[in-house]
Amino acid sequence: MRIEVRTSRREEFVDITRAVAEKVAESGAASGVAVVSCPHTTAGITVNENADPDVVRDLLAALERLAPRSAGWHHAEGNADAHVKATLVGSSATIPVASGRLALGTWQAVYLGEFDGPRTRSVLVTVVADRA
């Protein structure tokens, strides 16, 4: 199952929890896991807090400190920092499914991390149901 996400800035985290939850519901799985993946080399997937927007700002700031855009990278396209940030975040997250829903913590959300936008990104959701 595929989700299309339009990003609006070069770097941002977009909360895709609702869209992922809809795909889980469509799957009909009562329990199992949802694998959420991003088939792009300059974007990633993570699970983190959604209650305080400062968390997302802090994550972006930390990634910028770890891989600044102007670090003199060798990659000729000018987006080497985006590749590094995507590698640090990772390309997927595996989330338990219980009672037909994402089993996230109270403050957790699923995010697409955009590091070379704005773009339209694809997110793949694969639900693996428990066989009971």
Neighbours of 3 (CB within 10 A): 18
Alpha-carbon 56 to chain mean position: 12
Do residues 112 and 16 make contact, with C-beta atoms less than 8 angstroms apart?
Answer: yes
Range of 94's domain?
A: 2-129
| Sheet bearing 108-114, strands edge to edge | 12-15, 108-114, 43-49
Find where tokens 């600044």 sit: 68
The whole-angstrom separation of Cα 118 and Cα 54 is 21
Question: For residue 61, what is the domain's CATH number?
Answer: 2.60.120.460
The residue with greater pLDDT, 31 or 131, is 31
Is the full-model pTM beyond 0.75?
A: yes
Q: How many domains does the chain have?
A: 1
CB atoms inside a 10 Å sphere around CB 113: 28
6-43 per-position pLDDT tens digit: 999 999 999 999 999 999 999 999 999 999 999 999 99
C-beta separation of 112 from 5 below 8 A: yes
